[in-house]
Amino acid sequence: MKSQTIQNKHYFIEIYSGTVTDFSQRSETHVSGSGSEGSVEINSQVTNHLRFFLVDENGVEKDFQVTDWDIPIRVGHKLTISKLSNKRNVGGVVVGVKNLNTEQIYINNKVINHFSETKYGVFRILSGFLFILILVYMVGTFEGTWIEPFAPYLFGWGCVISFVYGFIQDIRLSSKIEKSLYSILSNI
């Protein structure tokens, strides 16, 4: 297990290597519909599941599952899998695969983006709450001054700024995690 610190956040990257002994792929289709009197809307969503087993050099077999991620593999291929975790997510999620036979590296950006969003979601809520507290204090302090008419706008802009800042942090964190994973998998 490798430990990485990215943007002052501590992550664990677990690396597993082995040979594919078996794999299966399946798809689920969820269909929903709604409408009334001549107007009907039907939606479908397909979810793809890939499950594969790796046996390492010591004969230990591990089971991996990924969703909505197309990784071309065959029985006998040698793979290196990277799982990303933090203290809250001890099991980790598969975010990178290197197929040593084809020399291809696959990084799951969708999972990394979701992982990084959860890191800054609390920050967004707390920063918005803190801004509200500051604003309430400011409105009381600036009552009767030229700033008083602008107080409602300050609240709105403060919320927008805190959410934009959180969004930028998500993008930066995702990018740094992707680069770190790519570097680790490239050197294997």
Sequence-distant (≥ 6) Cβ neighbours of residue 131 within 8 angstroms:
155, 158, 159, 162
Token reading at 134: 């500051």
Domain count, the chain: 1
Q: What percent of the chain has pLDDT over 70?
A: 71
pLDDT score of 16 more than 80: yes
| 143/7: higher pLDDT | 143
Token reading at 75: 């029985």
Of residues 48, 50, 43, the one with CA closest to residue 27: 48
Task: Answer yes or no: pTM beyond 0.75.
Answer: no
What digits encode the pLDDT tens for the residues 50-78?
Answer: 999 999 999 999 999 998 888 889 999 99
User: What is the reported pLDDT for 133?
Assistant: 67
With cut-offs at 50, 70 and 90, classify the pLDDT of residue 44. very high
Highest mean pLDDT among 111-115, 135-139, 140-144: 111-115
Sequence-distant (≥ 6) Cβ neighbours of residue 6 within 8 angstroms:
173, 176, 177, 180
> What single DSSP character describes residue 149?
G
Q: How far is CA 171 from the centre of its chain?
A: 10
Domain containing 59 equals 2-186
Q: How far apart are CA 130 and CA 79, in angstroms?
A: 47
With cut-offs at 50, 70 and 90, classify the pLDDT of residue 152. low
